[in-house]
Structure formats: structure tokens, C-alpha cells
Structure 1
Amino acid sequence: MRYERLIIETEKEVKIKEKPLKYGLKGLYKNRKIIIDSRLKTTAEKTCILSEELGHHFTTVGNIIDQSKIENRQQERKARAWGYEKLVGIINLVNAYKDGVRSRFELAEYLEVTEDYIEDAIKYYKEKHGLYCEIDNYIVYFEPLVVLEKL
């Protein structure tokens, strides 16, 4: 499972544990420690939350809880972007296509993330790259999501 692989991959960097969180929080990062809400229903959702919290570890500095400050919102965006690149990287989209994945539901299952996370990642890539991105011998269109092989 991808969730467990992420934990193993980063266990030397951060300590990760699950426990119930309050105030509607799904994850929390502070001082090289990540807490994932143990009440999350699916492993896919835990994977998405963990990737964002790891993004905070690798990209943000200081307390960014106050999202009324633009610099904190920018750091939040960086953490999410790190997660999107990690879990739904452009090459992952190409590999999914090569393996016969054709729908967003199948893609979410293939990448072990939620469909909402796929939607958010695609929106991020569209903002970053525009309507499409070329990688290796492929063109990835973001709306609608299509991968084409160049001839």
C-alpha cells in the first residue's frame, strides 16, 4: 500500500502516527512529527493527507496556521504542490495510461488516492503548465484528462 510505503520512505525524516484529531483537522505537522486523524475512512484519504503533511515538512517554515496571511497561504500551496507532484506526478499519469487506465476512478485506484485528490492535482497542473504538458514521447492534456503518445 502506498500509505505504508510513504511512511517507510520518510521514517528517518519524520515520526508519523495516527490518533484522533480535534477541530476537523485531518492531519497536522509540527517539529518533524506528523499526526494523521485515525478516524479517516480510507487508506487513500490517509495517503493524500500524509503527502500534504510531508509537503509541509519538506517545504514550509514556521507556524502557518493563520491562513489570513498571504505568505502562509503560499506555503500551504507549496506543501500541497509537493504532495501532488509526489502522488500524481505527470510521469505517473503517463504510466497509468500505458497500463490501460482510462477513467478518473481507475486513476484514483491505480495511484491509491481519492478522486477529489486527482481533481485537485489536475487543477494544479493546469495552472502550472496550461492546457497540456509534454513529457518524453507523450502529451498529457489536462482538460479533459487525456494522454497521447507522439508518433
Structure 2
Amino acid sequence: MGKYEELLMKSECEVVETNRLPKGIDGWYQNGDIFIKTSLPEKIKHQVLHEEIAHHKLTCGNIVDLSQFNNRKFENYARRHSYETSMPLEEIIEAFKNGIHNLYELANFFEVTECHVLDCIEHYKKKYGLKTLCGNYMIQFEPLRVFEIKTIK
């Protein structure tokens, strides 16, 4: 079972795959239901589902009009949350432990697109700078590397 199917099963929302969405919209959250475009590849459905679940948890009201500041703020808030849930720091460490060291392999590990991996890394760079600590590991974002920190006794 892939990560998209696992996320579908964990979701609190009813998820409906449909091609009856407005042009240019891949996913939509409304009143506890998530609508995802059927024709999308599974990797993109996975990314979209993360973002729509973030909308369910974090935003309220109609935020479709992105010309309004608060709507853009809510949209970005949900997108940033989706980056952190689709590619958590702990799982980046696991990927490196499993010998994954390039963009293509990382995208396959998380079952997302390479562009999404780059967006997640950019998000983490804005949030933490060029590196951060996660448990006993240091994650460097540019270039993306993971180092285990060992204490000397």
C-alpha cells in the first residue's frame, strides 16, 4: 500500500476523487469533504491530500479569493503545514539512513514529485536557516545532508 492510500485511511474527512473541479484546481476542501481531481498522478494526489487535510485542520471559511491578505495567509499556512506532514524531518533522517541521497530517490521515498521535495526543502530553509537539529541528527538543507551527532563520554 502506498503513502497516498495510507493517508486516505487516516484522514478524518470524506475524500472524493472527481474530475468536476474548477479549471486549475487539483484539490478542494469544503465542510469536512475533500475533493481531489481523479486524473492526477498518485504522487500529486498525495501532495494535494496533505494540503487539503491541512485546510481541514487549520483554516476556516471561504478563502478562495486570494486577492485578500487573510486568505493568502491561510493558504500559505496550510501549504507550509502540508510540507511538514508530507516530508517530516524525522523521515528525512530515515531516508538518509536507508541510503537515499539524491532528489529523485527522495521523491520516490516520500512518494511525491521532485518539485514538491524542493518546495519542502525551501520551506525548511526559511523556517530553520541552512541547518537544524532533530534528535541526535543535524540536517543540512543546502546541500541536503544528514549527520549523526555522537557525544563523547
For this structure pair, what is the TM-score category when the shorter chain's length is used for normalisation? over 0.9
After superposition, the C-alpha distances for 1:56-102 in whole angstroms (9 at most, x for unaligned) are 00110111111111111111111112211111011111010011101
Distance 2:10 2:50 in 1: 12
Q: Any residues of structure 2 matched to 1:6-21 within 5 Å, and which?
A: 6-10=7-11, 13-20=12-19, 21=21
Q: What corresponds to 1:89 in structure 2?
A: 88
Name structure 2 gaps, 5 residues minimum.
none
Matched length = 148
Q: What corresponds to 1:108 in structure 2?
A: 107
Distance 2:105 2:133 in 1: 22
TM-score scaled to structure 1, two decimals?
0.95
Name structure 1 gaps, 5 residues minimum.
none
Moved over 4 A (4+): none
Distance 2:31 2:38 in 1: 20
Distance 2:135 2:49 in 1: 29
Q: What corresponds to 2:69 in structure 1?
A: 70
Distance 1:64 1:89 in 2: 26
Q: Alignment identity in percent?
A: 39
Distance 1:144 1:71 in 2: 34
Residue 47 of structure 2 aligns to which amino acid in structure 1?
Answer: C
**Helix, strand or coil for the counterpart of 2:8?**
helix
Q: What corresponds to 1:36 in structure 2?
A: 36
